[in-house]
Structure 1
C-alpha cells in the first residue's frame, strides 16, 4: 500500500484473508491437549449455530412466501469469510439494517490480523502496522472507538543488509524515502548502499526532463525507478523494500497502485526524487505508520465484539461449499455449509482468491469463468522472543530489509520491541521480540514449502544473528512461533487489475452478490477496508 521504509518490514503485509496461522511455541503438553479437545468440539458447536441460522432463515423465507412479497423486515446478508474484509463488510451491512451471518471456515476471525502468545507476550502473528497516509485506517479505528489505542512507532530507522566480499554489509536506509525511492539521492545513506558512481547516475533524475508519455501510459515501479535513477537504485534500494514488504517484484506493481499521487507529482516537479520529497513532506520519519497498543489484533476483537453485541451471528469452523442463485426467488441465494442450507438476500464472498473462485465460477457461464493464479505464494513469519540484553540499544534500528543477493534465507526482520514502545514496556529490559519473514510471491522457497516449522525456527535464529550482528543461541530463545500464509497476493499488477475488471463484469447479473478482499483491493489494510466498504455500500442501495 505504498508505505514508506520506516514502516518496514511488515510482511506478511496486510493481506487480509487467509487460512489460520500455524504456530510452534514452548508450551506445556496439558495446554496443547486442552486445545486439541476444544478443536475436536468445534465442528459440533459450529453445526449447532448453523442450525439456528438455518431455522431463522427458513422462518424468514416462509413468512415471505406467506405474504407473497417481501415484508418490511431486515434482509439477510451472509458473509463468507471472517477476515478483516468480511468483518468490515458485516459491520457496515448490520448498521444498514441487515440481519448478518458471518461464516468462517477456520477456527478464528481476523485473517491477516492474527495473534499468538509467545513466552508470555501477546504478539501480532500477521500484519502489525497500518499506513497513516490518507487516514483510512485511522478513521475506521475511530469508528471502533480505538483511537486512544493508536500507537506510534519509536521512530528508529530501518536498515539494509547487502552481500559483501567478506560477508554481509549493513547500512541505515535513507531517512526520507518511499518504497526505497530516495528523496535525497545525494545523501550519505544512499551513497553507502549503492556506491558513488550509481549515486551520480541517480542524481541525473534531478535534471533529466520528464517523458510526457508518462502522464498517461502504464508504468510499473521498476520501470519508473530504473529510467529515472538507474538499475542500482532499483536493485539495491527499491527491490528489497518491495520484496520485504509486499513479497513481490517491483516490475509487477503499477506505480499508481503502489504510490497514489506519485505520477502526478512527478509531472509537476519534473523529478522522481522531488516527487517523493513532496509526498513525504507532510509525513516526517517515524510518523508514517501506526499500530495499536496491545497489537493490531485488538481491531479484530473490537469488530467481533461489536457485531455480536449488535446481534450478528458469527460462526467459526463453517466452510461454505456451494452457492446457488435463483433470480426469481423471494430469497435468491442458498448456501451450503456442514450439510445445512442457509438462505440469503445478499452474499459477500470475503475469502482468498482460490476459495472465492471455487464458489463463484459454478454460477457463471463457461466463457465468463475466472481462472486462478497458480504462481507460488507461500509466505512464513517466524517469531522469536529472546533474552539478549545486547539488543537493548537496537543495533539495527526497528527492522532490516535483506537484499536478494545477500546469503540469507530471510527477506526481512522486524525488531518489534525496538519499533513499538508499548511492546518494549511489556517485555522489559533484555527481552526482545523478533519477526523474520520468509518466502516471496511467485518463487518457490524450499524452507517455506517444506512445512517444517522447527527447521524454520532454527534458520530464523541463524539469520537473526547475522542480520542484527549479535550472536543468538538456541538457549537465548524464550519462545517461538510460526505463522503461515498460503494465499497471498502482490500489491497489484496488470494481471490482477485485469482480473478485477473481469470479476466486475461477471458479478453484474447477480443482484446482491459482492466479492471483497486483498486479491481484489490490493495489499494493505487501507485498501482492504476501503474496497469492502465501497462494495457493500453499492449493493445495499
Structure 2
C-alpha cells in the first residue's frame, strides 16, 4: 500500500478485547493492530486452537506418502476481494495456488447418474441458452417453463424493500418447480447447507432480486449483461467460477497460522472462555464513556472496547450476562434476536481412496445431490482434483457432506456408521469399491447459520440494539455473508470503525 491508502489511527492508546479465535476474530484482531499500532489488542479463544471451522490435517504415511486434508473450507474466492487483500497485507499472496481449472466444473445427480451442470449456468442464470435447451436435467415442459421466465411478472412482494420471500418461492414463481428441484435448489442448498423453502432471497441472492427489479426478468438482465460484456467469466463456468479461487499449499490452516503470527503470541490467549461482561460507566461524564470488564477463570480484566466474534448462540449467551446501568435492555434485545437465528450442523467425511478402486471417477471438481434424489449425502468434492499436490498421484481425496438443515438425523450415527453409509452412496454413484486408505469424519455442530426469510430484519434489530451499547461490537457470519471473504471483510470494516481509520 502507498502512504495515501494507509489508514489513520487514533493517537490515544486503547485496550481492545476480541472474544473468539475463529476467522472473524483473527481478521478483526489483525486489522485492529494494523490500523491502531498503539492499541493493546488481546484475543481470547475458549478452545485449545485457533481457526474455528478452518483446520487442516497433514498425514504422513510410510506406504503411500503425504495427505493434506482440510477439515473445513479448502479454498477461498478472490471476489469479493477481502480475502486476497488480506493475503496481500500478510505478505503471502505469492504463496497462493490456483485450482487445476482443466478439471473445473460440477455435476448434479439426476436419476442416479452424474450429469454436468449446463455450461454457463451460474446459480439462477443461464448465460448460454442452448446449453439449457439441450441439458438432460430438465424435461421438455421444464425447459419451456424456464424459457418463459422472461414473460413472468415481477414478484409483487419483492417490489417492497421491507418484504422478503424464500429462494424456493422466488425460483418456483419465475422458472418453475422443475428448475428449482433439479438445478437451482441443490446448487444454492449446497452453498448454505440450508432448506431453500426457508432461505431468504434478499439475504442470500440480493443481486438476483435487483436484476429482476431493474430488467423485469433474469433473462433480460442476462441479455443486458452480455451486451455490456459483463458475463465473460460466467459464460465459461458451470456452477462456479473456479479460476477466481485460491488455496494454500499446506491447506487453509496456513492462513490461520499466518494470522496468528502476525497478531503475536503475547496477544492471544487460548483455552480462555469468557463467562461474563460488565460495563463500568464513567459517572463523571455525560457521554457513553466507561470501560468493559470481562470475566474468565483467570480473573477480571478491563478494556476500552470489546468485540464479540463468537457464534450467534455464544454471543447471545454473553450478551445475557451483561450488567451495567441503562444497557441491559439493549443487550437482551440483541441476545433474543441472535438466538432466533438458527444454525445447521453438518459432517464432512474425508476419504483418501486409491484411484484403482473407483471405476467411474469424474473429471470435475464435484457434484451436488438434489433432495428429490432421496440420498443420504448432500454434496461431494474431489479435493485432489482442485489441488493435485494434496495427495499421492495414485490417490484421490473425496470430501462428502452429510446432514445439514434437511437431514440432521443422519448425524446421530457414529463415525463408523456415517463412513459406511457414505461408502454405499459412493459405490452407487461413482463405482467406489474396497476400503479407503484414510478416513476422517469432521463434525461441525451448529456451525452454519441459517438465513431464513426475514433475516435482514433480524439483523437490523440486532444492529440497532448493539448501537445502544457503548464500545461493544459484534462481528459474525450469522449476520451477513457466509464464506471466507465476507467474514474477513466484516472484520476489517469493524477494525476500521473502532480505530477511527479512514
Q: Deviations over 1:443-497 (max 9, x none)?
A: 45222134x1121122222222223x222222xx111112111123346334432
2:351 equivalent among 384, 399, 405: 384
The answer on 1:529 being equivalent to 2:488 is: yes
Q: Look up the match of 1:446.
A: 409
Give the match's secondary structure for 2:263: helix
Distance change (3 Å), C-alpha of 1:299 and 1:274: farther
Q: Deviations over 1:321-362 (max 9, x none)?
A: 111111217861111122421211111111101111110123
**Residues 1:434 and 2:398 are matched in the alignment:** yes
Aligned partners of 1:472, 1:335: CA distance in 2, in Å? Answer: 54
CA distance in 1, matches of 2:42, 2:294: 12
How is 1:387-402 mapped onto 2 (pairs within 5 angstroms)?
Answer: 387-389=354-356, 394-395=361-362, 397-402=364-369
- Aligned mates of 1:396, 1:273 — CA distance in 2: 30
Q: Distance in 2 between matches of 1:374 and 1:528?
A: 17
Aligned-partner SS, 1:488? strand
Cα 1:428–1:194 change in 2 (3 A) is: same
Relative to the length of structure 1, the TM-score reads: 0.78
Q: Secondary structure at the match of 1:142?
A: helix
Alpha carbons of 1:426 and 1:134: their partners in 2 closer, same or farther (altered >3 Å)?
A: closer
Match of 1:116 among 41, 57, 62: 57
Residue 269 of structure 2 corresponds to residue 324 of structure 1: no
Q: Hey, what does 2:442 align to over in structure 1? A: 483
Partner of 2:6: none
2:136 is the alignment partner of 1:197:
no
| 3-state SS, counterpart of residue 332 of structure 1 | strand
What's the counterpart of residue 470 of structure 2?
511
User: For 1:151-199, what per-residue CA distance to the aligned partner results, in whole angstroms no more than 9, with x for missing partners?
Assistant: 322232101113x3xxx12211122222254334542586311212100
- Cα pair distance change 1:150/1:376, threshold 3 Å: closer
For structure 2, the residue ranges without an aligned partner over 5 or more in a row are 1-10, 284-288, 323-327
Is the partner of 1:433 in helix, strand or coil?
strand
Paired residues of 1:205 and 1:271 also in contact (CA < 8 A): yes
State the aligned residue count: 457
8 Å CA contact retained: 2:341, 2:449: no
C-alpha separation between the residues in 1 aligned to 2:27 and 2:334?
27
Is 1:314 equivalent to 2:268 in the alignment?
yes
* 2:304 matches 1:356: no
- 1:464 — aligned with what? 426
Q: CA deviation at 1:511?
A: 2.2
Q: Quote the residue 1:34 is aligned against.
A: none
1:411: which partner in 2? 378
- How far off is 1:398 after superposition? 0.8
Equivalent of residue 290 in structure 1, options 211, 234, 246: 246
Report deviation, 1:281.
2.8
CA distance in 2 between partners of 1:412 and 1:249 (Å)? 14
TM-score, length-scaled by structure 2: 0.83
The answer to whether the 8 A contact 2:357-2:432 is kept is no
Q: Is the 8 A contact 1:215 1:264 kept in 2?
A: no
Does residue 1:99 correspond to 2:40, yes or no? yes
Unaligned runs of 5+ in 1: 1-71
Q: Distance in 1 between matches of 2:408 and 2:359?
A: 32
